[in-house]
Amino acid sequence: MNKIITRFLQKQTCATICCVDEQAKPWCFSCFYALKLEEGLLYFKSSEDSRHAALMKINPVIAGAILPDKLNALLVKGVQFEGVALDADHPLAEQASVNYHKKHPMGLAIPGEIWTIQISHIKMTDSTLGFGKKITWKRKD
């Protein structure tokens, strides 16, 4: 993955993720996240009875965005991503709880399940590198 994208994602803490219902209506939610970048994985914690958890069990395809924790209106910077929510028993999700709680240890006190998203595509806009500069990453099959 591109080093500029990696550094940006490691510095931030919150993502907005969108899933869709049976009528293809979008539903967005925000969450704290952790990463395993060498495998292109994003982890988040959510209540098992949340609307988005139910929707992702039906249709695991998601999209999301990550903005800087501290916005600078003059220097646009952010990431858009696509991926798939993996089943809890998927081999890539085995260490999800360890990886998430390493970054967010206070999460141990909050009930919920850890989700794993396998990121398939990232587009980053970074105007600090030039107005509207775009950097992309795609998972190799």
pTM score, two decimals? Answer: 0.90
The gap between the terminal CA atoms of the chain, to the nearest Å, is 14
SS3 assignment, position 120: strand
Domain boundaries defined on the chain: 3-138
pLDDT of residue 72: 78
DSSP E strands: which ranges in the chain? 14-20, 26-36, 41-46, 61-66, 77-86, 113-126, 134-138
Beta carbons within 8 Å of 80's beta carbon, 6+ residues apart:
63, 64, 65, 122, 123, 124
SS3 assignment, position 128: helix
Please give the Cα distance from 62 to 16 (Å, whole number): 10
Residue 47 backbone phi and psi in degrees, to 5:
-65, 140
Partners of 116 in beta bridges: 43, 86
pLDDT of residue 28: 97
User: Does residue 26 register a pLDDT over 80?
Assistant: yes
Q: Is the domain covering 3-138 a CATH 1.10.10.410 domain?
A: no
Note the pLDDT tens digit of each residue in 76-122: 899 999 999 999 999 999 999 999 999 999 999 999 999 999 999 99
Q: How many residues does the chain have?
A: 141
